[in-house]
Amino acid sequence: MREPKILVVDDDARLVRLLRSELSASDYCTYTAHDGAQALQIVKDEDVDLVVLDVFMPGMDGFETCRRIRALSQVPIIILTADADQSSKVKGLSVGADDYLTKPFDPEELLARIRAVLRRAHPASEGRWAEIGRSGAVNEPPFVCGDLRVDYANRTVTLKGEEVRLSPTEYRLLCQLTRNAGRVLPHEYLLTTVWGPEFRDDVKYLWVYIGYLREKLEADPKHPKHILTVPGFGYRFRKTG
């Protein structure tokens, strides 16, 4: 069974790298394009299963690109745009898009929409698409800290017995922190191991995702007891306190 092929089309190189990282971590085969012409060529050459398409691009915008893709293929298309105006949503759907997501967005929401659109496009393979991104068990005992349990073997996180839904990036970051509990992990180490070497200087990504984890796992995110900042250096997961 091959991995689903996802084409990401956006002229924002950092966003493309981020989405490629998220999708690859969720077991998708990812193609990228930075303009409409390149996207059309990939659709012609590759049997892609879904296209994630930005609206505001130089030259051929996302609406026109969507229209031209639709003339070639019935591949599902999710449009991304910074314009929250209802008329833009209607226009995107009218030129053939299957779904619409407004920037900024949580990558986990995009992944959920991708799974939903793939299930709709391939109803006979619903189980196959639904399971993508949920595999990857490892032979490793769980990490337990009070009410928090990270089950590495089943890739699940629970807090007070309730499952906590984490995006693939959030989960990878938490795994690095918990597997190295008590150690101070430098920014560069976390960025390289979680996002990839090309992200080693993009500290803002780390700030944002540390914030996401604190919101989901700390009793008081503004005064965390476990996911601690080491100013000017990195982060540490404290097991006690």
Tell me: pLDDT of 94 over 80. no
pLDDT at 130: 43
Lowest mean pLDDT segment, chosen from 98-107, 195-204, 214-223: 195-204
SS3 2: coil
Q: pLDDT per residue over 6-22, tens digit each?
A: 999 999 888 888 888 88
Q: Where are the domains of the chain?
A: 5-131, 143-237
Work out the burial of residue 189: count CB atoms within 10 Å of its CB; fewer than 13 is exposed, 13-18 middle, 19 or more buried.
middle
- Please give the CATH topology (third level) of the domain spanning 143-237: Arc Repressor Mutant, subunit A (1.10.10)
What number does CATH give the domain 5-131?
3.40.50.2300
Q: pLDDT per residue over 39-89, tens digit each?
A: 999 999 999 999 999 998 888 999 999 999 988 888 999 998 877 666 666
The count of other CB atoms within 10 Å of the CB of residue 93 is: 15
Pairing of strands 234-237, 227-230: antiparallel
Tokens (6 digits) for 41: 């060529």
